[in-house]
Amino acid sequence: MRICLDRPVDLRLTLFPVRRGRLDPTMRLTPGEAWRATRTPEGPATTRLVARGDAVTVQAWGPGAGWALDAAPALVGADDDDSGFTPHDPVVDDLRHRLPGLRLGRTNAVTEAIVASVLEQKVVGLEARRSYAALVRRLGEPAPGPLPGLLVPPAPEVLARTPSWVFHRCNVERKRADAVRMAASYAARLEEAATLPLPQAYARLTALPGVGPWTAAEVAMVALGDADAVSVGDYHLPSHVAYVLAGEPRADDARMLELLEPYRGHRGRVIRLIVAGGPAPPRYGPRLPLHPIAAM
């Protein structure tokens, strides 16, 4: 299958939020090629995407291959409409021109995004990525297709019945484990969010215990392609946004939202550009410590 786009796409930039770090056993990602294993309504599937200029060639394997092929254009941002996006700051205009291949895609895999996002709540990013990788390796399964080592994320019914001690060994405490199991038990209802208008989708997501505004925004960015998603409550993001847009090394959510207000409708797009290409604010202290929950 060949997808023809109106401009070149950088798969590494576009799919960066989908991959949960370099340890993610469900994805392999380079600037020109991506392998992704996922669960579809028709079963597990592996997708290989190869970008050449403004075209992406797609192959798929597994019971869900047909579904994955149909979903591939949205995944690489073919539906991403930035016609109403006008940079109001020179730095944003510069980022847009330096990162022309960055598109906002959508996976339509809501439960998978919720599970990974819940694991990222209130912990250091590296710690969350390690936990996700450990959970996938313990509860996932080999992905269909020719790439060895690629794994399909755990099925919702598997996660829903997984005992707390398994999560504990993956460095996940009971609160996040309970939220993951709760989300998995309502997977069918959560997947419907991909077919709803964004306001109703957010309401569906945040009705679930353990899913607040931050988690809902993280899920909407990845699974729903929300160009306006803002992860309020993030530890690092307000300072990163303020540093790039205003030269301020520290900021809170209120200041971040104030700076992003001129971009309403595309605030998530600006955040993606800043995270992908903007300088990080200076550090004034040690990094947050890791918490060895599995050793407790």
Domain ranges of the chain: 2-79, 237-277
Read off the pLDDT band of 77 (50, 70, 90).
very high
State pTM to two decimals.
0.93
pLDDT at 188: 96
Q: How far apart are alpha carbons 210 and 195 in whole angstroms?
A: 22
pLDDT at 290: 57
Task: List, for residues 146-188, the tens digit of each pLDDT value.
Answer: 999 999 999 999 999 999 999 999 999 999 999 999 999 999 9
pLDDT at 292 over 80: no
Instruction: Give the contacts of 70 (CB within 8 A, at least 6 positions apart).
Output: none
Q: What is the DSSP string of 237-291?
A: HHHHHHHHHH--S---HHHHHHHHGGGTTSHHHHHHHHHHHSPPPPP-SPPPPP-
Task: List, for residues 218-275, the tens digit of each pLDDT value.
Answer: 999 999 999 999 999 998 999 999 999 999 999 999 999 999 999 999 999 999 999 9
Question: Residue 211's closest CA among 194, 235, 186?
Answer: 186
pLDDT at 233: 95
pLDDT at 287: 55
| Interstrand relation of 2-4 and 55-61 (parallel, antiparallel or unpaired) | antiparallel
Read off the pLDDT band of 285 (50, 70, 90).
low
